[in-house]
A = this chain, B = another copy of it.
């Protein structure tokens, strides 16, 4: 079964395109996980308990796991999400060369999909693309202010760089396992990319803390997809869900804290479903 088939089945069974970003920023973790053996894992486990009914996938960002304890916490988190039948997309934005990028691709032994950076070109992504059952989301147009510095540069052929990246990703998609990361902060760019690659699923970040437009994300990024069965894509929210209960983070507040995360995931699901 391909990643997009698995994801499509999950989207259907949960009636949700919400990707829940698991970015357990140490400085924002509530007091009541501080004493756990692996605080990030203790936190993620409770977040997964609270949100999994509304989660099409979980998206841990690798940046929050880059130390010895972190990698243990990440491994447990992935296993636990799988225990709840939720696919895991590792947001790593990796790419390197030769034997090094083969080593990075080993992250797909555990995770079901990964984000990658296209700047080093096709061979830097090949070991990821070769994993037929796994998903590979190529950064195309990102939602941060500096996203325009390179991605919007006009090429001699007339189109901006990010549109060329979308076209290249289509060429690299021999195994049908390629997705694109296209930010929600620029709806007209979402529409432009969708026109170039009508069949490639999108991961749309930037809804929530970054202020992107959920309606545009679904309308241009997801709803037009001709083959809903394999999953038109995902809309991610991280801090807007996992830290939704931050006002209630004293010992004793656990139920309120994690309940707020569950409510936030459910609210986003419903908001997005209005446009699907």
Binding site for B on A (CB under 8 A): 23, 25, 61, 63-64, 66-72, 75, 93-101, 103-104, 106-107, 117-125, 139, 142-151, 153-158, 161, 164-165, 168, 205, 210, 239
Residues of chain B within 8 A of A93, CB atoms compared: 94-96, 117, 120
The reply to whether B107 and A120 form a contact with Cβ atoms under 8 Å apart is: no
A61, chain B: closest CB distance, angstroms: 5
Q: Which of B63, B71, B121, B210 meets A144, CB within 8 Å?
A: B121
The reply to whether A25 and B151 form a contact with Cβ atoms under 8 Å apart is: no
Residues of chain B within 8 A of A205, CB atoms compared: 97
Contacts A68-B68, A104-B63; A146 near B117 (Cβ below 8 A): no
How many angstroms between the C-alpha atoms of A161 and B164 in the bound complex? 12
The reply to whether B100 and A120 form a contact with Cβ atoms under 8 Å apart is: no
- Interface majority SS (helix, strand, loop, mixed), chain A: helix
The reply to whether A100 and B63 form a contact with Cβ atoms under 8 Å apart is: yes
How many angstroms between the C-alpha atoms of A99 and B187 in the bound complex? 23
A26, chain B: closest CB distance, angstroms: 9
24 contacts between A and B (CB under 8 A): A23-B100, A25-B99, A63-B96, A66-B104, A66-B106, A66-B107, A67-B71, A68-B69, A68-B72, A93-B95, A97-B205, A97-B210, A98-B210, A119-B151, A120-B147, A121-B146, A121-B147, A121-B150, A122-B146, A124-B142, A125-B146, A149-B168, A150-B161, A155-B155
The reply to whether B123 and A144 form a contact with Cβ atoms under 8 Å apart is: yes
Q: For the complex formed by this chain, how many copies does it contain in all? A: 2
Residues of chain B within 8 A of A122, CB atoms compared: 146, 149
Q: Which of B71, B103, B155 meets A63, CB within 8 Å?
A: B103
Residue of B nearest to A165 (CB): B150
Q: Which of B61, B117, B156 meets A156, CB within 8 Å?
A: B156
How many angstroms between the C-alpha atoms of A233 and B220 in the bound complex? 46
Residue of B nearest to A98 (CB): B144
Residue of B nearest to A205 (CB): B97
Residue of B nearest to A73 (CB): B68
Q: Which residue, of A119, A148, A161, has the highest number of chain B Cβ atoms within 10 A?
A: A119
Residues of chain B within 8 A of A106, CB atoms compared: 66
Q: Which residue, of A64, A144, A161, has the highest number of chain B Cβ atoms within 10 A?
A: A144
How many angstroms between the C-alpha atoms of A100 and B21 in the bound complex? 11
The reply to whether A118 and B119 form a contact with Cβ atoms under 8 Å apart is: yes
The reply to whether B66 and A71 form a contact with Cβ atoms under 8 Å apart is: yes
The reply to whether A121 and B67 form a contact with Cβ atoms under 8 Å apart is: no
How many angstroms between the C-alpha atoms of A187 and B94 in the bound complex? 26
A119, chain B: closest CB distance, angstroms: 4
The reply to whether A117 and B143 form a contact with Cβ atoms under 8 Å apart is: no
